[in-house]
């Protein structure tokens, strides 16, 4: 009886636990650098927190997606603004999605995307406005930087913004963009990616497109590339396979945007989640140089760096002098979150509990 009362009291008086899962795109993350292959991590984390905030690179698996009731699907630019405390996240029951198609998409490929959108309406019950075609080809150009990270630019950003403006005027509250990406990706790079190695050559440019829309209009946005179908390859990695099973990568984007939170920029805009309500952030150990993780590496937030999720980078929190707990795997990260949420000091779950030291001698890292 006493046990039951204590549980009820805990549920009534404990504030909700909020965690952010970040797997940056375009840096060859061993888990999440391919076709939505960090989605199982998001599902596992979501089961032990009240709210999980994550981003399209984690949640999008082309034709595959998994609705997580307590996960917020937040585009990267918006996530950076949220982490910096400039924007809040306002959960919604549903969004009306405006579909923006690059004029550079050939007729047959455009029909494939329109049919994916129609399927999302009829089969999933999603709400879409009529679609908009840009008034010029967007001209996506891909680039791999010296670090190994992929980036990209678009030649006609104004054409994209004009099309988004039309969709918003038609009543859209979230924007799905489909841009024609070049098919002439380096064959070696493409084959590596399909075999679950190397860096996604498209990822950096995808992020730039959605970032531009979110920065300009402060609405949820995500992007799907339009590409010609590739020939069958029996050696495709399971991590990349989700992008081999259909004509478009659009379904996951529509599913994610359908319930993506809106952005608010002032407290007066109503109830929202703000950065000061975040309890934990989880990211790859070697990718600690992004805006969101830097903003949230501060006292009061459990920052967890996952060694197993290797990337092409070597930017660690240690090198930046930031306080994080390093763990071997996401399995360990989930355990750490459970302990943190329960108010249990993680070291107490190991066989090694060091003696207290005089203040000022530093606190040792987690010793297993």
Partner 1 sequence: MALVTQFITLEISLVDAEGDLVAWIEAALAEQGHPLRWAITHIDPVPGMATVEAVITVPS
| Count of C-beta atoms within a 10 Å radius of residue 355 | 4
Q: Which of 76, 78, 198, 220 binds partner 1 (CB under 8 A)?
A: 76
Candidate segments 13-21, 97-105, 194-202, 285-293, binder of partner 1 by CB under 8 A: 285-293
Nearer to partner 1, 313 or 336 (CB): 313
Torsion 348-353-357-361 (CA) sign: negative
Q: Which of 22, 99, 132, 154 binds partner 1 (CB under 8 A)?
A: 154
Nearer to partner 1, 49 or 214 (CB): 214
Residue 67 CB, nearest distance to partner 1 (Å)? 27
Residue 319 CB, nearest distance to partner 1 (Å)? 5
- The CA distance from 315 to 312, in Å, is 10
Site for partner 1 in 209-228 (CB under 8 A): 211-212, 215
Assess 283 for contact with partner 1 (CB under 8 A). no
Which residue, among 113, 154, 150, has the nearest Cα to 137 in the 3D structure? Answer: 154
Contact 90, 272 (CB under 8 A): yes
Torsion 333-334-337-338 (CA) sign: negative
Q: Which of 157, 182, 246, 323 binds partner 1 (CB under 8 A)?
A: 157
Assess 151 for contact with partner 1 (CB under 8 A). yes
Look up residue 200 and give its two tokens.
């996604």
Q: Residues touching partner 1: how many (CB under 8 A)?
A: 35
Assess 291 for contact with partner 1 (CB under 8 A). yes
Site for partner 1 in 304-343 (CB under 8 A): 313-316, 319-320
Assess 153 for contact with partner 1 (CB under 8 A). yes
Quote the Cα angle for 266-268-269, to 5°.
75
Residue 317 CB, nearest distance to partner 1 (Å)? 11
Torsion 284-285-290-292 (CA) sign: positive
Contact 43, 361 (CB under 8 A): no
Residue 149 CB, nearest distance to partner 1 (Å)? 6
Assess 265 for contact with partner 1 (CB under 8 A). no
Site for partner 1 in 7-36 (CB under 8 A): 24
H or E, element range at 90? strand 88-90
**Residue 214, Cβ density class (10 Å: 0-12 exposed, 13-18 middle, ≥19 buried):** buried
Residue 140 CB, nearest distance to partner 1 (Å)? 10
Nearer to partner 1, 34 or 288 (CB): 288
Residue 305 CB, nearest distance to partner 1 (Å)? 14
C-alpha pair distances (Å), 344 with each of 81, 109, 233, 340: 31, 53, 48, 6
Site for partner 1 in 348-367 (CB under 8 A): none
**Residue 6, Cβ density class (10 Å: 0-12 exposed, 13-18 middle, ≥19 buried):** exposed
Residue 145 CB, nearest distance to partner 1 (Å)? 5
162-184 exposure pattern, b = at least 16 Cβ within 10 A, e = fewer: ebbebbbeeebbbbbbbbbbbee
Candidate segments 115-123, 166-174, 291-299, 355-363, binder of partner 1 by CB under 8 A: 291-299
Q: Which of 7, 9, 124, 143 binds partner 1 (CB under 8 A)?
A: 143
Beta bridge partners of 180: 226
Q: Which of 106, 118, 158, 183 binds partner 1 (CB under 8 A)?
A: 158
Q: Which of 64, 84, 119, 189 binds partner 1 (CB under 8 A)?
A: 84
- The CA distance from 201 to 223, in Å, is 15
β-strand pairing of 51-54 with 18-21: parallel
Assess 146 for contact with partner 1 (CB under 8 A). yes
Which 8-state DSSP code applies to residue 267?
Answer: G
Give me the residues that bind partner 1 (CB under 8 A), please.
Answer: 24, 76-77, 84, 143, 145-147, 149, 151-154, 157-158, 161, 204, 207-208, 211-212, 215, 287-291, 294-295, 313-316, 319-320
């Amino acid at each position: 009886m006493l046990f039951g009362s204590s549980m009820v009291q805990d549920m009534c008086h404990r504030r909700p636990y909020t965690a952010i899962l970040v797997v940056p795109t375009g840096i060859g993350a061993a888990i999440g650098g391919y076709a939505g292959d960090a989605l199982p991590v998001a599902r596992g984390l979501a089961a032990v927190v009240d709210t999980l905030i994550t981003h399209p690179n984690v949640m999008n698996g082309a034709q595959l997606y998994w609705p997580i009731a307590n996960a917020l699907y937040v585009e990267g630019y918006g996530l950076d603004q949220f982490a910096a405390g400039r924007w809040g996240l306002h959960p919604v029951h549903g969004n009306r999605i405006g579909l923006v198609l690059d004029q550079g998409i050939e007729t047959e490929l455009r029909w494939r995307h329109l049919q994916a959108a129609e399927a999302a309406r009829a089969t999933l019950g999603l709400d879409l406005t009529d679609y908009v075609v840009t008034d010029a080809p967007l001209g996506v150009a891909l680039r791999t930087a010296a670090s190994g990270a992929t980036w990209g630019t678009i030649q006609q950003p104004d054409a994209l913004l004009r099309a988004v403006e039309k969709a918003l005027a038609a009543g859209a509250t979230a924007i799905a963009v489909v841009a024609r990406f070049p098919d002439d990706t380096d064959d070696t790079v493409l084959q590596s990616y399909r075999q679950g190695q190397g860096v996604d050559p498209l990822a950096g440019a995808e992020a730039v497109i959605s970032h531009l829309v979110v920065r300009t209009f402060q609405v949820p946005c995500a992007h799907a590339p339009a590409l010609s179908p590739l020939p069958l390859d029996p050696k495709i990695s399971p991590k990349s396979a989700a992008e081999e099973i259909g004509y478009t990568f659009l379904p996951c984007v529509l599913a994610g945007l359908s319930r993506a939170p809106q952005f608010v920029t002032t407290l007066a805009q109503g109830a929202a989640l703000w950065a000061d309500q975040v309890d934990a952030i989880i990211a790859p150990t070697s990718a600690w140089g992004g805006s969101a993780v830097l903003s949230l590496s501060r006292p009061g937030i459990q920052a967890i760096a996952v060694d197993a999720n290797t990337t092409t980078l070597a930017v660690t929190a240690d090198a930046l002098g930031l306080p994080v707990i390093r763990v071997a795997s996401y399995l360990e990260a989930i355990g750490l979150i459970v302990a943190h949420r329960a108010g249990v000091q993680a070291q107490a779950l190991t066989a090694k509990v060091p003696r207290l030291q005089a203040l000022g001698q530093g606190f040792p890292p987690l010793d297993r």
